[in-house]
Structure 1
Amino acid sequence: MQNLVTVFGGSGFIGSQAVRQLAKAGWRIRVAVRQPNLAYAMRLHGDVGQIDVVQANIRNEASIRRALEGATASLNLVSVLYEQGRQGFQSLNVMGARNVAAAARAEGVSRVVQMSALGADLESESKYAHTKAEGEVAVREIYPDAVVVRPSIVFGPEDDFFNKFASMATTSPFLPLVGGGKTRFQPVFVGDVARALTIAVTSSEAAGQTYELGGPAVFTFRELMEMILAEIDRRRVLLPLPFAAAEAIGSLAELGKVLVAPPITADQAKLLRADNVVSGRYPGLADLGITPTTLEAVLPTYLYRYRKGGQYADQDERELAAGRA
Structure 2
Amino acid sequence: MASNLETLVTVFGGSGFLGRNVVRALCRRDYRVRVAVRRPELAGYLQPSGKVGQVHTIQANLRYPASVEAAVRDSEVVINLVGILTEGRGQTFDAVQAKGAETVAKAASAVGARLIHVSAIGADAESPSRYAKAKAAGEAAVTAAMPSATIFRPSVMFGPEDQFTNRFASLARMSPVLPLIGAETKMQPVYVGDVATAIADAVDGKAKAGATYELGGPEVLTMREIIEAIVTIADRKPTLIPLPFGLARLNANFLQFAPGALKLTPDQVTLLERDNVVSDAAKTAGLTLEGLGIAADSLEAIAPQYLWRFRPQGQFQRKSA
TM-score interval, smaller chain: over 0.9
Letter in 2 for 1:226: E
Q: How far has the Cα of 1:174 moved from its partner?
A: 1.3
Q: Does 1:40 align with 2:44?
A: yes
Paired residue secondary structure (2:10) = strand
Tell me the equivalent position of 1:121. 124
2:275 corresponding residue in structure 1: 275
For the pair 1:12 / 2:16, whether they are aligned, the reply is yes
Secondary structure in 1 aligned to 2:194? helix
Distance 2:29 2:208 in 1: 16
SS at match of 1:37: helix
Q: State the superposition RMSD in angstroms.
A: 1.6
Seen in structure 2, the aligned counterparts of structure 1 residues 131 and 231 have a Cα distance that, compared at 3 Å, is: same
Distance in 2 separating the partners of 1:20 and 1:109: 25
Q: Does 1:156 align with 2:176?
A: no
CA–CA distance in structure 1, aligned partners of residues 42 and 10 of structure 2: 18
1:64 aligned onto 2:68: yes
What amino acid is aligned across from residue 54 of structure 1 in structure 2?
I
Deviates most, 73-82 or 259-268: 259-268
| Largest Rg, 1 or 2 | 1
Q: 1:299 aligns with which of 291, 297, 303?
A: 303
Shift of 1:62: 1.4
One-letter amino acid of the counterpart of residue 173, structure 1: P
* One-letter amino acid matched to 2:194: D
The TM-score normalised by the length of structure 2 is 0.93
One-letter identity of the residue aligned with 1:55? Q
How many angstroms apart in 1 are the aligned matches of 2:190 and 2:260?
A: 25
| CA drift at 1:262 | 5.1
Whole-angstrom distance in 2 between the partners of 1:119 and 1:175: 25
User: Residue in 2 aligned with 1:237?
Assistant: 239
Please say if 1:253 is aligned against 2:255: yes
> How big is the shift at 1:309?
0.8
Structure 1 position 205, deviation (Å):
4.5
Quick one: which amino acid aligns to residue 237 of structure 1? T
Could you say what secondary structure the match of 1:313 adopts?
coil
Check if 1:22 corresponds to 2:60: no
Question: How do 1:125-204 and structure 2 match up within 5 A?
Answer: 125-179=128-182, 181-203=183-205
What amino acid is aligned across from residue 63 of structure 2 in structure 1? Answer: R
Identity of aligned residues (%): 47
Distance in 2 of aligned mates of 1:93 and 1:165: 26
* Structure 1: distance between partners of 2:60 and 2:271: 30
**Cα separation, partners in 2 of 1:261 and 1:33, compared to 1, 3 Å:** farther
In structure 2, what is the equivalent of residue 86 of structure 1? Answer: 90
Match of 2:77 among 73, 87, 93: 73
Local SS of the residue matching 1:125: coil
1:308 aligned residue (308, 312, 317): 312
Which digits, 9 at most, give the CA deviation of each residue in 1:155-197, with x for residues without a partner?
1101111000100111122112113x00011011111000001
Does structure 2 retain, via aligned residues, the 8 Å contact 1:2–1:71?
A: no
- TM-score of the superposed pair, with normalisation by structure 1: 0.92
Q: Is the 8 A contact 1:213 1:285 kept in 2?
A: yes
In the alignment, does 2:224 pair up with 1:217? no
Letter in 1 for 2:269: A
Distance 2:174 2:64 in 1: 41
Deviation of 1:314 (Å): 2.5
Alpha-carbon distance, 1:104 to partner: 1.6
Rate the CA distance shift 1:234–1:262 in 2: closer, same or farther, 3 A. closer
Counterpart residue type for residue 45 of structure 2: A
In 2, Cα distance between the equivalents of 1:246 and 1:227?
22
Aligned-partner Cα distance in 2 for 1:178–1:168: 14
In the alignment, what sits opposite 1:322?
A: none
Cα distance in 1 for partners of 2:164, 2:112 equals: 34
Equivalent pair of 1:74/1:109 in contact (CA under 8 Å): no
Structure 1, 77-86 or 204-213: larger mean CA deviation: 204-213
Query: Which runs of no fewer than 5 residues in structure 2 stay unpaired?
Result: none
Counterpart code for 1:94: A
Q: Distance in 1 between matches of 2:6 and 2:139?
A: 26
Which ranges of structure 1 fall in alignment gaps of 5 or more residues?
318-325
Inter-CA distance 94–291: structure 2 relative to 1 (3 Å threshold): same
Deviation at 1:105, TM superposition (A): 2.0
